[in-house]
A and B are shown apart, each in its own frame.
Chain A
Amino acid sequence: MTSNPYLFAAYAVTWLIHIGYLTTIVRRYARLKREIDDLKK
């Protein structure tokens, strides 16, 4: 039971890594959308 902080840390870090990576994908999409809009002008 004393090891529960480690369990919490492992699960939290896992989702932080995945959410961080998904955020980079969303930001890249947004940047690309701006580039496409610039190209259309």
Chain B
Amino acid sequence: MKRTFPILVILTGILLAYAMSIALVPVIHIGGLTLNGAPTEQTMGNVQRIFYYHVPSAWTAFILFFVNFGASVYYLIKRCDTADVVAQVTAEVGLVFLTVNLVTGPIWARPVWGIWWTWDWRLTSTLIVWLIYVSYLMLRRFAASSQTPLLAAAMGIFGALCVPFVYFSIWFFRTQHPQPVMGGGGSIDPHMMHVLLINWLAFSCFAFLVCWSRYRLEKLQRAVDEAHALRSLMDNPADGRRGGQ
């Protein structure tokens, strides 16, 4: 286990570097080897390459929110501490990826649409989901009640239920945002799709590693908090008796 993590970090680093290279350059020459990257889009030019970070960030965030949903449901049924930790970690890492999606979107929109932001269904619903998970993490951070994991689980379920609305909003409403590249009315060049999927794979591996280290940190933090509580009980046993009454 101790060796697995560094090996995975190196492999993910190589995958991320490769994914970024093929996203940025149409053709890569390494020695005698020629790799095909993403072709330059005819209308938008090179700025379209933001797509290879913008879309995989959203997909990774949504997958993490669905893991959060599963862990939250499991926590509500079984009151399992591990499920609570998984829910907390996936919400936090998912929020980071959704932040990337929300920041890269306007940077792409400005040269293409001529505006940074518009209050259309897709953009607004994504912002609402982002705010739900910000609230989720604030609840976890600032509410010290024993009921906090329960409330957080309910909030996590609500947040994940909003995710399909974000995805399907461009199916049901007329929006500024383009149609989805998968399962929707949009279409994409096969080379672009290949680069998109490689970037998604790289982002997913990266997200998994971040979740893993964050999970270990959270488990350790809870163990230390418990040790602090036990120590204060041992130092002041009268407090413990009063608490038990």
Residues of A within 8 A of B (CB): 1-4, 6-7, 9-11, 13-14, 17-18, 21-22, 25, 28-29, 32, 35-36, 39
Given A6-B107, A7-B49, A32-B220; A17-B54 close (CB under 8 Å) = no
Complex: chain A residue closest to B107, CB-CB: A10
Complex: chain A residue closest to B92, CB-CB: A21
Residues of B within 8 A of A (CB): 20, 24, 44-47, 49-50, 53-54, 57, 96, 99-100, 103-104, 107-108, 110-111, 206, 210, 213-214, 217, 220-221, 224, 227-228, 231
Provide the bound-state CA to CA distance between A7 and B108, in Å. 8
Q: List the A side residues contacting B49 at CB < 8 Å.
A: 7
**Nearest CB of chain A from residue B58's CB, rounded to whole Å:** 12
Q: List the B side residues contacting A3 at CB < 8 Å.
A: 44-47, 111
Partner of A39, one of B107, B110, B111, B228: B228
Q: List the A side residues contacting B221 at CB < 8 Å.
A: 28, 32
The answer on a CB contact under 8 Å between B96 and A17 is: yes
Provide the bound-state CA to CA distance between A35 and B103, in Å. 36
Given A3-B111, A7-B46; A13-B103 close (CB under 8 Å) = yes
Partner of B107, one of A9, A18, A22: A9
The answer on a CB contact under 8 Å between A6 and B111 is: yes
Q: List the A side residues contacting B231 at CB < 8 Å.
A: 39
Provide the bound-state CA to CA distance between A25 and B211, in Å. 11
**Nearest CB of chain A from residue B37's CB, rounded to whole Å:** 14
**Nearest CB of chain A from residue B71's CB, rounded to whole Å:** 19
The answer on a CB contact under 8 Å between A14 and B53 is: yes
